[in-house]
Amino acid sequence: MLGYGDDEFDDAIRANVRPQFLTIKYAGSAMVRSGGGSIVAISTTVAVFPMPFNAGYAAGKTAVDMLVRIAADELGGAGVRVNGVRPGLTATDTTVGLVGNDSLRERFLEQQPIKRVGQPEDIAHAVRYFAGPESSWVTGQCLTVDGGHTLRRFPDLGDLARRIFGADDFDAAMRGELPR
């Protein structure tokens, strides 16, 4: 956290919270006018356990979980359900660097009971459940779809953070010296 730049933190919060807020706000408004509906936000497992060296992303996704709960409470009386899905490590264009790196991928998989990377279809099934009639009495919930990863802990990626931030900057941050 100490190595995170102030603007970098703001950017991560903005990128992860604002789009979901706007979707819930405007879709929710349209659904209220039309008599009801279902909104499904996408969060992440990082919303429920720490992801060291990525404070902005983690804080942003935790905020998404709270937006789901608040929106569900506000919109439920109008027949609008709001839920969220928290994917674990899933093979997507965004995660290709992590999933494609054997060492990093194995650090994740050693922490989860179901020893495979998630597929987009795994997440789509959870979204479909929340969007469909099967969940007509469910609102304000976030379903974690992660192969059981959150039963354990987030893998130690300190060595990776040291390479990304640069060894000198990382070591300085760990001594409590803030970035300029």
The residues annotated with a catalytic role in the active site are: 57
Is residue 103 within 8 Å of 90, Cβ to Cβ? no
* Residue of 15, 39, 30, 13 lying closest to 141 (CA atoms): 39
What share of residues in the chain are helix, strand, coil (percent, to 5)?
Answer: 55, 10, 30
In the β-sheet with 80-87, what is the strand arrangement from edge to edge?
37-42, 80-87, 142-145
